Amino acid sequence: MMLLKVISLCLLLVYNVNSYKILGVFPIAAVSHQILATKLMETLAEAGHEVTLVSPYPVKNVAKHWKYRNIVLDGIAEEFEDFLKNFNFYGGDNTNPITRIRQVFKMITDMTNNTLSHPKMIELVKSNEQFDALIVEQFNQDGLKAYASIFNCHQIIFSSTGPNSWINPTVGNPQPVSNVPSSFSGNFSRELSFWDRSKNLASNLFEYFIMTFILHPIQDSLVQQICSDCPSVSELHTNASLVLLNSHTSIHHAVPLVPNMAEIGGYFIDPSKPLPKDLQEFMDNAKDGVIYFSMGSNLKSKDLPEATKNGIIKVLGKLKQRVIWKFEEDLPNKPANVLIQKWCPQADILAHPNVKLFITHSGFLSTIETIYHGVPVLAIPVFADQFMNAKKAVAYGYGLKLAYNDPNFSEEALSALLDELLTNPKYHETAKFRSKLYHDRLATPIETLNYWVNYTLRYKGAKHLQVAGVQLPLHQYLLLDVVGFMVAGLVFSLWIVLVLFKRVRMIVKTGSKQKTQ
Ligand SMILES: *[C@@H]1O[C@H](CO)[C@@H](O)[C@H](O)[C@H]1NC(C)=O
Ligand SMILES: *[C@@H]1O[C@H](CO)[C@@H](O)[C@H](O)[C@H]1NC(C)=O
């Protein structure tokens, strides 16, 4: 028995000794993206891999026993901060949507270029160092996948939001237009009406054309500057060995997933830590419960339109609950039941049993944290995927939505929403149900992450998991060639029938003429 134990322990050690060299290139300087990137690479370092993280900020808290190198791309974070300053999130609705999309694409293109042409990256390319895998985020920065070609290693793609039309083509994941809404549009009830399906088709086509004819050629030109014999970006785009999704069926609808996609949604959430003393006391002594209010890291509560902010302050002041508000400056007219904090340990606050409600911008990290802890939400979406997350909260029934820029925004409307969320038990129960689904898994997100990275590299890219559809050109994938052939065949047959019919009629006619003569 003892011997068996020793043998299995040895096997376990041998199994764990599988250590690979992994390069993670994550230049998106937004705080939430960096949290995801650093946690991903830390997890792999903790599992014993030799990790190199390329990031815009220096990484803190690197454990001594990790084999961990951080290449900091100086200059990128500063450019991103300039972008944020000029972006004017809360005024976004007055800007032409095309202008905003162009601003975002330019930011992404610049970030790709600044990474590829950064002296430290040029040096890395020249060093002839070897890697087993490259990890990049799927964020229209496909040019970064050139590193997989340069270092002759496997592509592992990470998606911060889950299966969507950006990530699906990388592994040929089917995305039926009839029932899977495209990334950033669409309806998140389970049934798509005729109109929804039409919009979904238009949106999918639009994304496809933008990607194929605008984004990929731009990325191609960036790659050419550093690697003239790299494959085209369109080729790199559909060459992933593994896709890691920061999603789970407790967070989004059930959709098809091919075998080389792994859901690790929530892997970034640490086990709860004790709260700072002041917060702990504030929450423990809240006999009517606590509302936690945060607009996330990129958006700031202080930048909300003045009238909206004052309305919110008035409404919060009238509640019997206590409120913790992540607010970035002093608030002179702060009501007595409100505690202002410049920074909040969000997940630990949400873990407190007295939390009744989370007023949130519905960013993807906040959404997963609130589901993890089963806290209902009042969603105030402002930007990008936040609208989609807010719609889902409403569709699933664990939240309600409020438009911060609704011309009808009123204290009464906000009061009514808060009252409904705080008194109708339905929201709390649904949030708890989602939380239960979140935790009911075969393996933890971290175990899943480690398993799939090891598995993919152990089988040298795990070609056997790739579906054949990934390599098919679009016209073959959509069977346009077959349909075209069948239509042509049908037309040809009809023509033959018509010709024969005419002939027969003529013969019959001449026959009857001869008879009458
Ligand atoms: C990319 O960066 C290089 C070096 O900074 C610069 O010369 C080039 O013009 C940039 N290309 C684009 C498309 O921005
Ligand atoms: C605002 O309220 C008025 C009156 O209740 C209503 O007619 C109008 O449609 C509302 N506008 C919006 C944008 O909700």
CATH number for 350: 3.40.50.2000
Beta-carbon contacts of 390 under 8 Å, excluding residues fewer than 6 positions away, are 362, 379, 380, 381, 399, 401
Pick from 81, 97, 90: which is nearest to 28 by CA? 81
Q: Ligand 2 centroid vs 466 CA: distance in angstroms?
A: 51
61: left (phi over 0), alpha (psi -120 to 50) or beta: left
| pLDDT tens string 69-82 | 999 999 999 988 88
Instruction: Name residue 479's beta-bridge partners.
Output: none
* Residue 281 confidence (pLDDT) above 70: yes
Query: Which of 401, 406, 408, 414 has most ligand 2 atoms within 8 Å of CB, for mutation?
Result: 408
Section 278-288 average pLDDT: 93
Spatial distance between the Cα atoms of 58 and 299, rounded to a whole number of angstroms: 22
405, 93 Cβ separation under 8 angstroms? yes
Q: Whose CA is nearest to atom 7 of ligand 1?
A: 117
Spatial distance between the Cα atoms of 330 and 263, rounded to a whole number of angstroms: 41
- 266 in a structural domain: no
3-class DSSP state of 344 = coil
Q: Whose CA is nearest to atom 4 of ligand 2?
A: 408
Query: Which of 110, 225, 226 has most ligand 1 atoms within 8 Å of CB, for mutation?
Result: 225
pLDDT, position 342: 87
Query: Based on the domain organization, do 428 and 488 belong to the same domain?
Result: no
Query: Based on the domain organization, do 427 and 347 belong to the same domain?
Result: yes
Spatial distance between the Cα atoms of 193 and 357, rounded to a whole number of angstroms: 32
Query: Based on the domain organization, do 246 and 331 belong to the same domain?
Result: no
Query: Which of 113, 214, 225 has most ligand 1 atoms within 8 Å of CB, for mutation?
Result: 113
Query: Based on the domain organization, do 376 and 413 belong to the same domain?
Result: yes
- Reported confidence tier of residue 220, pLDDT bands at 50, 70, 90: very high
Q: Ligand 1 centroid vs 227 CA: distance in angstroms?
A: 14
- 505 in a structural domain: yes
Q: Which domain holds residue 485?
A: 479-511
- Reported confidence tier of residue 340, pLDDT bands at 50, 70, 90: confident
414, 315 Cβ separation under 8 angstroms? yes
Query: Based on the domain organization, do 27 and 169 belong to the same domain?
Result: yes
The atom of ligand 2 lying closest to the CA of 407 is 13
pLDDT, position 66: 96
Minimum-distance ligand to the CA of 403? Answer: 2
Cα–chain center distance at 338: 33
Q: Residue 214 phi/psi, 5° resolution?
A: -120, -60
The atom of ligand 1 lying closest to the CA of 113 is 1
Query: Based on the domain organization, do 167 and 146 belong to the same domain?
Result: yes
Q: What are 43-47's contacts with CB under 8 Å, separation 24+?
A: 43/267, 43/446, 43/449, 43/450, 44/449, 44/450, 44/453, 47/16, 47/450, 47/453, 47/454
Q: Ligand 2 centroid vs 402 CA: distance in angstroms?
A: 14
Mean pLDDT of the chain: 89
Minimum-distance ligand to the CA of 109? Answer: 1
Spatial distance between the Cα atoms of 275 and 506, rounded to a whole number of angstroms: 95
Q: Ligand 2 centroid vs 406 CA: distance in angstroms?
A: 9
| pLDDT tens string 375-394 | 999 999 887 788 888 988 99
In single-letter form, the type of residue at position 392 comes to K
* Residue 99 confidence (pLDDT) above 90: no
The atom of ligand 1 lying closest to the CA of 218 is 13
Query: Based on the domain organization, do 383 and 321 belong to the same domain?
Result: yes
Query: Based on the domain organization, do 368 and 245 belong to the same domain?
Result: no
What's the number of domains the chain is made of?
3
- 121 in a structural domain: yes
Pocket of ligand 1 (CB under 6 A): 113, 117
Residue 405 near ligand 2, beta carbon < 6 Å = no
**In the block, which residue shows the tokens 């409600």?**
357
- 209 in a structural domain: no
Query: Based on the domain organization, do 316 and 429 belong to the same domain?
Result: yes
User: Who wins on pLDDT, 418 or 382?
Assistant: 418
Spatial distance between the Cα atoms of 283 and 277, rounded to a whole number of angstroms: 10
- Reported confidence tier of residue 290, pLDDT bands at 50, 70, 90: very high
pLDDT, position 329: 80
The atom of ligand 2 lying closest to the CA of 406 is 13
**In the block, which residue shows the tokens 């949400």?**
350
In single-letter form, the type of residue at position 246 comes to N
Cα–chain center distance at 333: 38
* Residue 434 confidence (pLDDT) above 60: yes
Minimum-distance ligand to the CA of 412? Answer: 2
| pLDDT tens string 152-194 | 999 999 999 888 888 999 999 998 988 888 765 555 666 788 9
DSSP 58: P
Instruction: Using a pLDDT cut of 90, give the percent of the chain over it.
Output: 63
Residue 408 near ligand 2, beta carbon < 6 Å = yes
Spatial distance between the Cα atoms of 131 and 47, rounded to a whole number of angstroms: 17
pLDDT, position 16: 52
CA contacts within 13 A on the Cβ side of 289: 15
The atom of ligand 2 lying closest to the CA of 408 is 1
Q: Whose CA is nearest to atom 10 of ligand 1?
A: 113
Q: Ligand 2 centroid vs 478 CA: distance in angstroms?
A: 44
Q: What are 84-93's contacts with CB under 8 Å, separation 24+?
A: 84/298, 89/298, 89/299, 89/303, 89/382, 89/383, 90/299, 90/303, 90/304, 90/305, 90/382, 90/404, 90/405, 92/382, 92/383, 93/405
pLDDT, position 33: 93
- 498 in a structural domain: yes
pLDDT, position 404: 73
Query: Based on the domain organization, do 294 and 426 belong to the same domain?
Result: yes
Listed range (87-91, 240-244, 403-407, 499-503) with the worst mean pLDDT: 87-91
- 252 in a structural domain: yes
Give the pair of three-digit tokens for residue 148: 């997989």
Minimum-distance ligand to the CA of 143? Answer: 1
Q: Ligand 1 centroid vs 75 CA: distance in angstroms?
A: 14
427: left (phi over 0), alpha (psi -120 to 50) or beta: alpha
For CA atoms 172, 176, 181, 185, the dihedral sign is positive
- Reported confidence tier of residue 365, pLDDT bands at 50, 70, 90: very high
Q: Ligand 1 centroid vs 218 CA: distance in angstroms?
A: 11
Section 444-471 average pLDDT: 95
- Reported confidence tier of residue 516, pLDDT bands at 50, 70, 90: low
Listed range (206-210, 398-402, 424-428, 510-514) with the worst mean pLDDT: 510-514
pLDDT, position 89: 66
Q: Ligand 1 centroid vs 110 CA: distance in angstroms?
A: 8
The atom of ligand 1 lying closest to the CA of 114 is 2
Section 285-289 average pLDDT: 92
pLDDT, position 10: 55
| pLDDT tens string 2-44 | 665 666 555 555 555 589 999 999 999 988 899 999 999 999 9
Pick from 137-151, 301-315, 464-478 the range whose average pLDDT is largest: 137-151
Minimum-distance ligand to the CA of 76? Answer: 1
CATH of the domain at 33: 3.40.50
pLDDT, position 53: 98
Query: Based on the domain organization, do 339 and 314 belong to the same domain?
Result: yes
- 361 in a structural domain: yes
- 360 in a structural domain: yes
Residue 407 near ligand 2, beta carbon < 6 Å = yes
Spatial distance between the Cα atoms of 33 and 328, rounded to a whole number of angstroms: 21
Q: What is the DSSP string of 206-266?
A: HHHHHIIIIIHHHHHHHHHHH-TTSPPHHHHHT--SEEEES--TTTS------TTEEE-TT
Beta strand extents in 302-458 (DSSP E only): 322-326, 338-341, 355-360, 377-379, 399-401
Query: Based on the domain organization, do 501 and 399 belong to the same domain?
Result: no
325, 347 Cβ separation under 8 angstroms? no
Instruction: Name residue 52's beta-bridge partners.
Output: 23, 69
CA contacts within 13 A on the Cβ side of 73: 29
Residue 511 near ligand 2, beta carbon < 6 Å = no
